[in-house]
């Protein structure tokens, strides 16, 4: 039986309040106790005889209280109060009061990490590109926040898409027509990336840390209040992915170089990581998010380091060579 003068037990949850209970004890102190108490009072000392009687009376009243609560099927008693009464010179009374309750142990909650995954695919024909998705465990489910690049000047208000997760053990989770809405512009986002409100996903929280990839296939979206249902024409995010006009195979001498080669040749004419980053952002906006998000993020990190460590051009080129 757990007892407390407070109103709760650490690590336990009160499931039911039963009844107010009490235990009483009336105990005679006897002639010697009174005589000893009077003598102690005269001498200014403690009376061990009275203290012993009082302690026994308190223990007995508490036992009576616990017995009363047990008879009700209680697991604990809260808000315990001890009251003392003197009936005469040689008789004292002690009462113990409290509320009998039913309790249960609170299971230790496991904490699972948040996981942010870069989206593997995109539709080059659409003005919006899914960039990444953040999965956060919440209780026995999860929530998902989608980050997109939107070149429609903030016209996209909602998206419905199929989301496919794959774990490191190749377990597969698919959610059809998952809605994302309330997109907000990320502060200081040069590329005008936006994040959605968190939406619930019936994904086991213990699997979040195991997720290795996500695919987002846009089924429809709302643009200026008009619902658009696009054709599915998704491709994988790759370093050599390019807009259609850059994939010309006509050998007339005017065909543009593949994206990865053209990109490398252009950036090698630059002098700093900052220049490369600004070029990446401008190129990505012009060509509807064709540059892989992780490449832009890495270049941005290099550009920011230049403020502290000086020119990071060589390191930036090396990182780009690793990605492309």
Q: Which two tokens mark 31?
A: 């002639």
The pLDDT of residue 239? 43
Cα 269 to the chain's mean position, in Å?
44
The pLDDT of residue 320? 84
The pLDDT of residue 99? 94
The pLDDT of residue 248? 35
The pLDDT of residue 46? 47
**Which residues pair with residue 141 across a beta bridge?**
138
**Which residues pair with residue 3 across a beta bridge?**
77
Any residues with CB less than 8 A from the CB of 187 and at least 6 apart, and which?
none
CA distances to 82, 158, 167 from 161, rounded to whole Å, are 64, 10, 20
What is the DSSP secondary structure assignment for residue 106, as one 8-state letter? P
The pLDDT of residue 264? 77
The pLDDT of residue 218? 93
Residue 47 to residue 213: CA distance in whole angstroms: 77
Any residues with CB less than 8 A from the CB of 250 and at least 6 apart, and which?
none
| Of residues 50, 54, 60, 51, the one with CA closest to residue 23 | 60
The pLDDT of residue 282? 81
Any residues with CB less than 8 A from the CB of 210 and at least 6 apart, and which?
167, 168, 169, 171
The pLDDT of residue 112? 87
The pLDDT of residue 111? 81
Q: Give pairs for 237-244: CB < 8 Å, separation 24+.
A: 237/118, 237/119, 237/120, 237/121, 237/122, 237/292, 237/293, 238/292, 239/292, 239/295, 239/323, 239/324, 240/324, 241/124, 241/290, 241/292, 242/287, 242/290, 243/124, 243/287, 243/288, 243/290, 244/124
Q: Which two tokens mark 254?
A: 């005017």
**What are residue 13's phi and psi, to 5 degrees?**
-120, 130
The pLDDT of residue 125? 81
The pLDDT of residue 49? 63
The pLDDT of residue 43? 44
Below-70 pLDDT ranges, the chain:
29-50, 88-90, 108-109, 151-154, 189-191, 237-262, 287-289, 324
């Amino acid at each position: 039986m757990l007892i407390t003068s407070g109103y709760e037990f650490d690590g336990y949850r009160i499931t039911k309040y039963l009844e107010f209970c009490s235990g009483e004890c009336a105990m005679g102190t006897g002639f010697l106790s009174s005589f000893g108490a009077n003598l102690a009072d005269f001498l200014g000392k403690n009376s061990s005889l009275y203290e012993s009687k009082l302690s026994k009376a308190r223990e007995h009243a508490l036992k009576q209280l616990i017995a009363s609560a047990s008879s009700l099927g209680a697991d604990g008693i809260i808000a315990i109060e001890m009251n003392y009464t003197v009936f005469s010179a040689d008789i004292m009374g002690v009462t113990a009061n409290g509320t009998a309750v039913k309790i249960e142990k609170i299971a230790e909650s496991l904490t699972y990490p948040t996981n942010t995954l870069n989206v593997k695919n995109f539709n080059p024909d659409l003005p919006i590109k899914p960039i990444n998705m953040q999965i956060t465990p919440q209780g026995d489910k999860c929530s998902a926040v989608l980050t997109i690049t939107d070149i429609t000047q903030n016209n996209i208000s909602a998206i419905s898409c199929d989301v496919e997760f794959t774990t490191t053990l190749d377990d597969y989770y698919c959610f059809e027509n998952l809605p994302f809405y309330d997109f907000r512009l990320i502060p200081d986002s040069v590329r005008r990336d936006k994040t959605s409100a968190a939406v619930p996903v019936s994904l086991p929280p213990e699997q979040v840390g195991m997720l290795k990839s996500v695919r987002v296939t846009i089924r429809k979206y709302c643009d200026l209040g008009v619902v658009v249902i696009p054709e599915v024409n998704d491709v994988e995010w790759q370093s050599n992915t390019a807009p259609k006009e850059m994939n010309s195979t006509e050998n007339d001498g005017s065909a543009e170089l593949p994206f990865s080669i053209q990109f490398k040749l252009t950036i090698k004419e630059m002098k700093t990581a900052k220049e490369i980053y600004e070029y990446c952002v401008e190129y990505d906006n012009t060509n509807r998010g064709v540059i892989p998000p992780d490449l832009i993020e890495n270049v941005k990190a290099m550009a920011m380091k230049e403020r502290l460590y000086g020119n990071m051009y060589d390191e930036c080129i090396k990182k780009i060579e690793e990605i492309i």
